């Protein structure tokens, strides 16, 4: 296969822990070719979706801590997206208007024969935080609104709640409001930008102290290990970007139940790779834009997540050819 990655600039990646790099290395190990492009290098010309793409290689013994962990194996080339065996969308959020428009280009490319993972429509129609409301049996008491009175009433009812913006990532903008919180007004005004943006409010889940678990699903199949992201002392956010510590562990019986219950619907929508965020028995987010944690799980277990991804991709692309 020749696989195109739509990705952030390679020099900006921390290659030694980057999931996209782990995907590339696993594909290269199976003798597949890799090319990369940026969101800004995608375009439509005469109704055809194209990109300025550069072929690269990552040596098996590459120093992933260095600035020269990859090599370009050819000159940049303008190609239609359907020229590749698969197109992997790995541009990190934010999900801004440029990202939104890019999902439309991906959908147009799919109509022209490109095989895109995750599909443009799936990325566009699957808001990562709101999506959990489709699965109420696995969701903590949740309110989504920009009405401050409703939020205050929810807080009064549940006493201890988590408040977060709908477009945050990496734990940014997440606040815990305990019973008796004196800064409720300031927190809500700041996060909602004076009631102009909706917020998600959830009952606090005490099990966060045991870790916010990332469960990966690849082509409908749960990876048998998750990464429990354990918060720093005094923190309510387990995200690695917020200083959490990642500990790989086997899926619990309930983790399997959650993943196997949700996975079929996600696959139907064109979501090849998904990351469920689970605290206790509850799903708090369904990540689809650029799920991570491949490296951490692989390094701590005998489960090579990149290998699972490469095999699943080859199977799907082969079946669709």
Concerning whether 50 is annotated as a catalytic residue, the answer is: no
Contacting residues for 57 by C-beta, under 8 A, at least 6 apart? 28, 34, 70, 71, 73
What integer pLDDT is reported at residue 319 of this predicted model?
A: 66
Concerning whether 193 is annotated as a catalytic residue, the answer is: no
pLDDT in tens, 303-317: 999 999 999 999 999
Catalytic hit among 82, 237, 255, 296:
237
pLDDT in tens, 43-84: 999 999 999 999 999 999 999 999 999 999 999 999 999 999
Concerning whether 52 is annotated as a catalytic residue, the answer is: no
Using the predicted structure, report yes or no on whether residue 321 has a pLDDT greater than 60: no
What integer pLDDT is reported at residue 95 of this predicted model?
A: 85
Return d(Cα 199, Cα 157) in angstroms, integer. Answer: 17
Q: Give all domains of the chain, ordered by start, each with its CATH number.
A: 2-124 (3.40.50.20), 141-204 (3.30.1490.20), 207-304 (3.30.470.20)
**Average pLDDT of span 155-169:** 92
Query: Percent of the chain, pLDDT > 90?
Result: 88
Catalytic hit among 164, 212, 213, 255:
164
Distance of CA 161 to CAs 28, 133, 138, Å? 45, 17, 17
Using the predicted structure, report yes or no on whether residue 102 has a pLDDT greater than 60: yes
What residue spans of the chain are helical by DSSP H? 19-29, 97-111, 120-124, 148-158, 184-192, 253-268, 294-300, 305-320
Residue with tokens 């619990």: 252
Concerning whether 229 is annotated as a catalytic residue, the answer is: yes
pTM of the model: 0.92
**Cα-to-chain-centroid distance, residue 149:** 32
Residue 6 near residue 37 (C-beta atoms within 8 A): yes
Concerning whether 129 is annotated as a catalytic residue, the answer is: yes
Catalytic hit among 82, 212, 287, 296:
287
**Average pLDDT of span 154-183:** 90
* pLDDT band for position 238 (cuts 50, 70, 90): low
Contacting residues for 143 by C-beta, under 8 A, at least 6 apart? 150, 151, 154, 200, 201, 202
Using the predicted structure, report yes or no on whether residue 115 has a pLDDT greater than 90: yes
Concerning whether 152 is annotated as a catalytic residue, the answer is: no
Concerning whether 124 is annotated as a catalytic residue, the answer is: no
Contacting residues for 133 by C-beta, under 8 A, at least 6 apart? 139, 142, 144
**Average pLDDT of span 212-217:** 96
**Average pLDDT of span 126-150:** 95
**Average pLDDT of span 183-205:** 95
pLDDT in tens, 269-290: 999 999 999 999 999 999 999 9
DSSP 59: -
Most confident of 102-111, 175-184, 202-211: 102-111
Residue 216 near residue 293 (C-beta atoms within 8 A): yes
Using the predicted structure, report yes or no on whether residue 232 has a pLDDT greater than 90: no
What integer pLDDT is reported at residue 99 of this predicted model?
A: 94
Catalytic hit among 229, 239, 255, 296:
229
* pLDDT band for position 167 (cuts 50, 70, 90): confident
* pLDDT band for position 234 (cuts 50, 70, 90): low
* Higher local confidence (pLDDT), 211 or 66: 66
Using the predicted structure, report yes or no on whether residue 241 has a pLDDT greater than 70: no
Using the predicted structure, report yes or no on whether residue 172 has a pLDDT greater than 90: no
Using the predicted structure, report yes or no on whether residue 202 has a pLDDT greater than 90: yes
């Amino acid at each position: 296969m020749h696989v195109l990655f739509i990705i952030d600039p390679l020099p900006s990646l921390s290659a030694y822990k980057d999931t996209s790099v782990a995907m590339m290395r696993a594909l290269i190990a199976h003798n597949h070719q890799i090319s990369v492009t940026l969101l800004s290098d995608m375009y439509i010309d005469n109704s055809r979706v194209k990109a300025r793409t550069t072929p690269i290689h990552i040596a098996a013994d590459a120093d992933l801590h260095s600035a020269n962990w990859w090599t370009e194996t050819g000159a940049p080339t303008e190609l239609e997206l359907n020229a590749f065996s698969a197109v992997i969308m790995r541009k990190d959020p934010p999900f801004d208007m440029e990202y939104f428009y890019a999902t439309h280009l991906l959908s147009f490319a799919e109509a022209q024969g490109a095989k895109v993972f995750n599909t443009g429509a799936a990325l566009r129609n699957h808001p990562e935080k709101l999506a959990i409301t489709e699965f109420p049996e696995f969701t903590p008491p949740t309110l989504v609104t920009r009405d401050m009175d409703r939020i205050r009433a929810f807080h009064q009812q549940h006493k201890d709640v988590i408040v977060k913006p709908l477009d945050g990532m990496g734990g940014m903008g997440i606040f815990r409001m305990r019973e008796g919180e004196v800064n409720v007004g300031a927190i809500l005004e700041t996060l909602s930008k004076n009631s102009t943006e909706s917020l998600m409010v959830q009952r606090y889940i005490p099990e966060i102290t045991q870790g916010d678990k990332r469960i990966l699903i690849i082509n409908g199949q749960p990876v048998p290990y998750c990464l429990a992201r354990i918060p720093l002392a005094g923190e309510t956010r387990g995200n690695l970007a917020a200083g959490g510590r990642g500990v790989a562990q086997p899926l619990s019986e309930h983790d399997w139940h959650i993943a196997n219950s949700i996975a079929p619907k996600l696959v139907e929508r064109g979501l090849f790779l998904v990351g469920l965020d689970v605290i206790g028995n509850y799903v708090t987010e369904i990540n689809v834009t650029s799920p991570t944690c491949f490296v951490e799980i692989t390094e701590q277990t005998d489960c090579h997540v990149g290998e699972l991804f490469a095999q699943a991709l080859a199977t799907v692309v082969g079946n669709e050819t």
